[in-house]
Amino acid sequence: MKIAIVFGGSSYEHEISIVSAITMKKVLKNSELSFIFVDKNRILYLIEPDNMKSKFFSSTSYKKSKKLSLKNGAFIVEKMFGTQELSTEVVLNLIHGRDGEDGKIASLMEFYKIPFISPRVEASALSYNKLYTKFLAESLGVKVVEYQHLSKSDERKLTLSYPVIIKPVRLGSSIGVSIVKEESQLEYALDVAFEFDNDVIIEPFIDGVREYNQAGAKSTEWELSIIEEPQKEEFLDFEKKYMDFSRDEQVNSAQISIEIQTKIQETFKKIYDPLFLGSIIRCDFFVVGGEVLLNEINPIPGSMANYLFEDFESMLQRIASSLPKERNIVIDYQYIDSIQQAKGKA
């Protein structure tokens, strides 16, 4: 299968996206890959597979690569004497954070009618914003961790008991996240979070909570990963997430009861279908007192959470063969024609 991987973007998670794309090159061994880099100025470059090394981007050597543009149905390679279509069957959106997860890439792909694997526009809008994710889950009857929302202009008054965890609403990879154990730490933690976003989510920090990750998709059938219990630390900071996103070997399944496994999988399905059709997502859950609580939705997980699947590449092919399609709207100008005819009669 011919896959074009789009990565980079104007995002705080730009470097994480580069790591994910390099990892995909290792994982997708039987596919014909093209790499489309979106730099900080949102200029598109076609990157040769041999140049998929982190230094190539940090040194800005990528600027010597061919530039790309878009037309209906394809990416266009700009050459000295004309242009050429980039041959690809599907685009894999691997931009983390802004541009990739907020719906911009999804909008472009839909507008130019290019098949793509990624959350669609509505799914992006709801999962990119942690507050909207809470609203979505609650509307579906999925339980969430207790939370408080604060905007930058709000009074900094906490309604939850310490300790708490503070997160920017529109960021991932633990950027701007702090654990606050007492009141004296609150102002600084909020200042840090508001450096990255005008809104924050505050949640109780539950010490020793059991956390589980479930990834998956739906092609003609459910494509569920194993359930992982991530390493136990207070939280994974940016550097640990950076290393986490470079994983390319399958991890072990969590040791949990069939009852908890079923609850997690059924909750995942309730969140995924139909909003996230055409994408591979990962949901992070807490289990408290036997109850499954949604912590976060990762609409474009690092390295697409390949390490949770037995055969990630085959699954990708099945998803590409069953992508949702926009409704075809017939425009025949009957209304305008009828008006013109009426005017003619008058």
What number of other Cβ atoms are within 10 A of residue 204's Cβ?
16
pLDDT tens track for 165-183: 999 998 776 788 999 999 9
Number of neighbouring beta carbons within 10 Å of residue 111: 11
CA distance linking residue 106 with residue 125, whole number of Å: 11
Token look-up 């894999």 returns 92
Q: Which of 159, 155, 178 is nearest to 167 (CA)?
A: 178
CATH 3.30.2130.30 fits 126-144+208-320, yes or no: no
Q: Are β-strands 164-168 and 148-151 bridged in parallel, bridged antiparallel, or unpaired? A: unpaired
- Amino acid identity at 191: D
Residue 234 has pLDDT above 70, yes or no: no
In the block, residue with structure tokens 């102002």: 187
Provide the token pair at 300: 């474009």
CA–CA gap between residue 18 and residue 6 (Å, rounded): 10
Q: How confident is the model at residue 298 (pLDDT cuts 50, 70, 90)?
A: very high
pTM here? 0.89
Of the two residues 233 and 124, the one the predictor is more confident about is 124
Domain ranges of the chain: 2-118, 126-144+208-320, 148-204
Q: Domain 2-118 maps to which CATH number in 2.160.10.10, 3.40.50.12780, 2.115.10.20, 3.40.50.20? A: 3.40.50.20
Q: What is the structure's pLDDT at 235?
A: 54
The mean pLDDT of 127-147, rounded to a whole number, is 95
Q: Is it the case that residue 5 has pLDDT exceeding 70? A: yes
Mean pLDDT over each residue of the chain, to the nearest integer: 92
Classified by CATH at the fold level, domain 148-204 comes out as Dna Ligase; domain 1 (3.30.1490)
Helices 121-128 and 130-139: crossing angle in degrees, nearest 10, is 110
